[in-house]
């Protein structure tokens, strides 16, 4: 089953919706999990979307050196997906400030036998290692259960990382992260892509007002169900 997941605190619920709608419109995803702070989402969602209340999560202690903001634990939840979603083997994790604007139905197959698949950040990469942006990640949760997931969670509880779980995953999973084309995470930190499939508004001010975001925000879920999943003709280069 092709699964995807978002994590959002209450202040991001409304900003999550355009990304969710774009995902449903441009992929053959079968199940989407929303990790949120309530038992129920304030907006009626399609039946393939399931909410999981993680406000009382036990994976990251309150005194963790990375729990420096009220929302920090929600960012780190992607590192605990192997436990939060025990019956899921592969999952696509997306930041709420992303828009899927091309057919990404093949993205789940890209991770292979690696812990994760993601797009590199050239400015943070070096000669001996590649650094990856985790705004868009395909996690091999089955493989993370070999002990790596436990290592990542433990490290986040005891060691300070500048960019929280992104730095931790890059450090501990190094050598078992597959680089995928920048079209799957087109943002200011990745290599430019002529035909982006996933646009990521990482750290851009007022991104929610962007016309592409508003395009999907104005769509109704019923309309998305009638949209052909593979109707897009744009094909991104493997850059």
- Give per-residue pLDDT as tens, 123-172: 889 888 999 999 999 999 999 999 999 999 999 999 999 999 999 999 99
Domains of the chain plus CATH, in order, are 3-225 (3.90.550.10)
Q: Give residues with Cβ within 8 angstroms of 216, minimum separation 6.
A: 18, 19, 21, 22, 25, 99
pLDDT at position 37 is: 96
Q: Which two tokens stand for residue 15?
A: 């900003």
Hey, what are 149's tokens?
A: 């997931």
Give residue 77's pLDDT: 95
116 conformational bin, left if phi > 0, alpha if psi -120 to 50, beta if neither: beta
Q: What angle do CA 136, 7, 171 make, to 5 degrees?
A: 50
Tens digit of each residue's pLDDT, the chain (239 residues):
999 999 999 999 999 999 999 999 999 999 999 999 999 999 999 999 999 999 999 999 888 998 888 889 999 999 999 999 999 999 999 999 999 999 999 999 999 999 999 999 998 898 889 999 999 999 999 999 999 999 999 999 999 999 999 999 999 999 999 999 999 999 999 999 889 999 999 989 889 999 999 999 999 998 885 544 444 433 333 44
- Gap between the Cα atoms of 51 and 176, Å rounded: 30
Nearest alpha carbon to residue 168 among 141, 190, 181, 149: 149
Q: What is the pTM of this model?
A: 0.92
Please give the structure tokens belonging to residue 134.
């985790």
Cβ within 8 Å of residue 214, ≥6 positions away: 18
Give helix 148-158 / helix 164-172 axis angle, nearest 10°.
130
């Amino acid at each position: 089953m092709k699964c995807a997941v978002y994590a959002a605190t209450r202040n991001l619920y409304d900003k999550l919706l355009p990304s969710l709608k774009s995902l449903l419109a441009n992929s053959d995803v079968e199940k989407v999990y929303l990790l949120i702070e309530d038992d129920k989402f304030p907006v009626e969602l399609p039946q393939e979307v399931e909410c999981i209340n993680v406000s009382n999560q036990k994976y990251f202690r309150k005194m963790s050196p990375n729990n420096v903001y009220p929302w920090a634990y929600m960012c780190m939840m992607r590192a605990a997906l192997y436990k939060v979603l025990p019956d899921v083997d592969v999952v696509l994790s997306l930041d709420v400030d992303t828009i899927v604007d091309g057919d990404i139905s093949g993205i789940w197959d890209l991770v292979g036998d690696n812990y994760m698949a993601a797009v590199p950040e050239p400015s943070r990469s070096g000669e001996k290692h590649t650094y990856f942006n985790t705004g868009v990640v395909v996690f091999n949760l089955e493989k993370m259960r070999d002990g790596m997931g436990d290592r990542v969670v433990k490290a986040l509880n005891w060691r300070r990382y500048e960019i929280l779980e992104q730095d931790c995953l890059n450090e501990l999973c190094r050598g078992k992260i597959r680089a995928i084309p920048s079209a799957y995470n087109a943002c200011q930190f990745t290599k430019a892509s002529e035909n982006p499939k996933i646009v990521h508004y990482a750290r851009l001010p007022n991104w929610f007002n962007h016309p592409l975001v508003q395009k999907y925000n104005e769509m109704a879920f019923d309309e998305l169900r009638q949209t052909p999943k593979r109707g897009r003709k744009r094909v991104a280069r493997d850059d």
